[in-house]
Amino acid sequence: MSDGLEATLLAVLVVATSIWVGGYIAIAVVARAATATLTPDARVAFFRSLGRLYFWVGTPALVVALASGAILARDVDHGALFTATVVVAVVLLVSFAVAVGQARRMTRLRRALLAAPGDTALAERVRRGARAAGSLRGLLGLLSLALVVLGACLAT
Ligand code: HEM
């Protein structure tokens, strides 16, 4: 591969990774602000819109980052570090798909609870679901960070 193409791919990797990690952190900050300022029904509508719009920013960024990283790492020694990086990347992709499905289920549950505020069984399901969704989002953040560190180690 020519130096020019390699530099272009590296620039693409840096930009895509910045969008993925930066977007994740920005949404976490926005989530706190939304919780502090919006009513529950406005918050559900807000996240439904934000989540659906951001899906089309975050997903391409993640895919482009993984693809450009994979091309740049094509000549790297296929040792334990390489295997660990591939495993973390696959787990990240799978966790992301699960997290999006779960977020959509949470929106449906929260809407149902807004329509039936006295339903204590539903309120408990929302509480448990929110805890699980929080853990999954935390895992996504940790895996993303781990991938950046592993990628940096592979590159040196
Ligand atoms: C970075 C990539 C992310 C993407 C692509 C994404 C995407 C989505 C999608 C598709 C939904 C479902 C909308 C619907 O159809 O109802 C959603 C909901 C939601 N997202 Fe995200 N999200 C991301 C990160 C985050 C982060 C970092 C947080 C907070 C720390 C967050 C908080 C929420 C909340 C609170 C909901 C509403 C459902 C619920 O109450 O759990 N998201 N998101």
Q: What would the pLDDT profile of 56-113 be if each residue is shown by its tens digit?
A: 999 999 999 999 999 999 888 889 999 999 999 999 999 999 999 999 999 999 999 9
Half-sphere exposure of 14 (CA within 13 A, CB side): 7
The percent of residues in the chain predicted with pLDDT above 90, rounded, is 94
Q: In this predicted structure, what is the pLDDT of residue 37?
A: 97
Q: 32: CA distance to ligand 1 center in Å?
A: 13
* 54 in Cβ contact with 30 (< 8 Å): no
Q: Is 47 in the pocket of ligand 1 (CB under 6 A)?
A: yes
Q: Is 136 in the pocket of ligand 1 (CB under 6 A)?
A: no
Q: 70: CA distance to ligand 1 center in Å?
A: 27
Q: Is 12 in the pocket of ligand 1 (CB under 6 A)?
A: no
Which has more confidence, 75 or 25?
25
Q: 5: CA distance to ligand 1 center in Å?
A: 35
Statement: residue 51 has pLDDT above 90: yes
What's the rounded Cα separation, in Å, for the pair 146 and 21? 12
Q: In this predicted structure, what is the pLDDT of residue 78?
A: 85
